[in-house]
């Protein structure tokens, strides 16, 4: 009996294998920008969700790269700007970006075109974070990709250069019609609460807790982006009731009241006009606390506290937890920020005057920042 020699075609085999592989097209991105944001997020448990979402760390420091090497992330998830590029002040990096589109191109190469939503976390106190917040938000807006950003404001203890970066970044972002979610670094560092397992939740880990919740809500960027456009919201901040037991508190209203004791920014709640609410709760409470009931109780709680134009309670995120602990995250929008911004402006004059005198920024550019902060 004759035998035939079987030839294994390596090229053909590889091509067949490639055709069987489903292209990776993440719909949601989590982007960490700057050193402080990276320090916080690299502690997060949600980093295991890299298969579903695009997770990208953008920084300059090699120290961040060393911290990243100890995590579960791949090199694909880290983008270093390069030590040869100045990035102490926002205008250093902004100037580089204007002269060269290589940085934006590198970000685009990370499957950005397939994204439907993006969550940015940045400390606007440092040059990298303050420069890239308005750039990234503008790029996503051009692509009609819904994006939100948690912007960590500098501590009161940080010097004038940090305040200058933050003030400028907010002005540029607002001038482009982007509404950041503001968190005070002092508030974040001093946060004390519990998670939905009843364990201590303290310090900047609350940022990771917020991100874990928002990443669990696939259309979070789309919902809050639509709300911002519909009501021309300029900025948000957060009131959080985390790991709140219905049995312990007795009512939803008492949980909401507890959130006032641990705000993530000093602001005037009564001046807020828009509210977006995220709720995570055990599935077994679904019939007891429907979305409609939660909405009505929140509206009633706000009576006398703020004159809201709208309250949007998103469809709750249900879990299989055996406990009765809930997370209620309220994003209060369009509050009066004049006191906060005036205090920051008093600290930026020296750096602003130096930058204008040396031609590092133009008068027209600074006026754009001021106009953005003043609004209509």
CATH number of 127's domain: 3.40.50.1440
171 close to 201: Cβ distance less than 8 angstroms: no
What is the reported pLDDT for 63? 64
pLDDT at 6: 46
| Average confidence (pLDDT) over 118-142 | 92
Q: Tell the burial category of 224 from Cβ atoms under 10 Å away from its Cβ (0-12, 13-18, 19+).
A: buried
240 compared with 98, residue with greater pLDDT: 240
Read off the pLDDT band of 110 (50, 70, 90). low
Hey, how many other C-beta atoms are within 10 angstroms of the C-beta on 298? 20
Asked if residue 112 lies in contact with residue 29, where contact means CB atoms within 8 angstroms, the answer is yes
226 and 325, same domain (yes or no)? yes
CB 125 within 8 A of CB 162: yes
Residue 358 lies in a domain: yes
Q: What are phi and psi of 147, to 5 degrees?
A: -140, 150
**Whole-number Å distance between alpha carbons of 162 and 174:** 18
CATH number of the domain where residue 258 is located: 3.30.1330.20
Tokens of 178: 């982007």
More confident residue, 71 or 202: 202
When pLDDT is cut at 50, 70 and 90, the band that residue 21 belongs to is very low
Q: Is the pLDDT of residue 104 over 70?
A: no
Query: Distance between CA atoms of 283 and 298, rounded to whole angstroms?
Result: 20
State mean pLDDT over 354-360.
Answer: 94
Domain that holds residue 270: 191-336
Question: Does 155 have pLDDT greater than 90?
Answer: yes
Residue 116 pLDDT class (50, 70, 90 cuts): confident
What is the spatial distance between Cα 332 and Cα 269, in angstroms, rounded to a whole number? 8
Total domains, the chain: 2
- Nearest CA to 179 out of 151, 154, 152 is that of 151
**pLDDT averaged over every residue in the chain:** 87
Residue 201 sits in the same domain as residue 263: yes
Residue 15 in any domain: the answer is: no
Query: Would you state the pLDDT for residue 11?
Result: 43
The answer on 301 and 274 residing in a single domain is: yes
Say whether pLDDT at 1 is over 60. no
Report d(CA 101, CA 327) in Å as an integer.
Answer: 41
pLDDT over threshold 70, residue 60: yes
**Percentage with pLDDT > 70 across the chain:** 85
Q: Are residues 211 and 283 in the same domain?
A: yes
Does residue 265 fall inside a structural domain? Answer: yes
> Does 7 score more than 90 pLDDT?
no
| pLDDT tens digits for range 298-347 | 999 999 999 999 999 999 999 998 899 999 999 999 999 999 999 999 89
* Domain assignment present for 186: no
């Amino acid at each position: 009996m004759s035998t035939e020699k079987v030839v294994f075609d390596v090229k053909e085999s590889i091509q067949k294998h490639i055709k069987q592989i489903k292209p990776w097209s993440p719909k949601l991105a989590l982007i960490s920008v700057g050193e402080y944001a990276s320090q916080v997020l690299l502690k997060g448990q949600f980093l295991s969700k890299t298969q579903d979402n695009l997770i990208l760390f953008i920084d300059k420091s090699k120290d961040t790269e060393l911290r990243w090497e100890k995590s579960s992330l791949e090199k694909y998830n880290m983008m270093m700007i390069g030590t040869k590029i100045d990035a102490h002040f926002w205008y250093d990096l902004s100037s580089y970006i204007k002269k060269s589109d290589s940085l934006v191109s590198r970000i685009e190469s990370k499957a950005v075109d397939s994204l439907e939503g993006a969550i940015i976390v940045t400390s606007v106190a440092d040059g990298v974070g303050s420069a890239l917040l308005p750039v990234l938000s503008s790029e996503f807006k051009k692509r009609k990709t819904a994006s939100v950003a948690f912007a960590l404001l500098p501590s009161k203890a940080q010097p004038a250069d940090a305040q200058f970066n933050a003030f400028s970044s907010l002005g540029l972002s607002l001038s482009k019609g982007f509404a950041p979610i503001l968190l005070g670094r002092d508030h974040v560092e001093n946060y004390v609460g519990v998670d939905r397992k009843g364990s201590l939740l303290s310090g900047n880990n609350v940022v990771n807790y917020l991100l874990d919740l928002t990443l669990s809500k696939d259309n979070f960027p789309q919902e809050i982006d639509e709300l911002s456009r519909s009501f021309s919201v300029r900025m948000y901040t957060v009131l959080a009731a985390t790991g709140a037991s219905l049995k312990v508190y007795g009512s939803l209203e008492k949980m909401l009241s507890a959130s006032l004791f641990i705000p993530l920014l000093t602001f005037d709640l009564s001046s807020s006009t828009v509210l977006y609410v995220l709720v995570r709760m055990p599935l077994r409470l679904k019939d007891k606390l429907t979305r409609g009931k939660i909405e009505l109780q929140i509206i009633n709680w706000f009576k006398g506290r703020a004159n809201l134009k709208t309250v949007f309670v998103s469809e709750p995120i249900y879990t299989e937890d055996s406990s009765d602990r809930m997370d209620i995250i309220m994003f209060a929008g369009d509050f009066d920020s004049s006191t906060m911004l005036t205090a920051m402006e008093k600290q930026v004059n020296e750096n602003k005057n130096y930058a204008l005198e040396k031609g590092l920024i133009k008068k027209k550019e600074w006026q754009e920042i001021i106009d953005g902060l003043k609004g209509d």
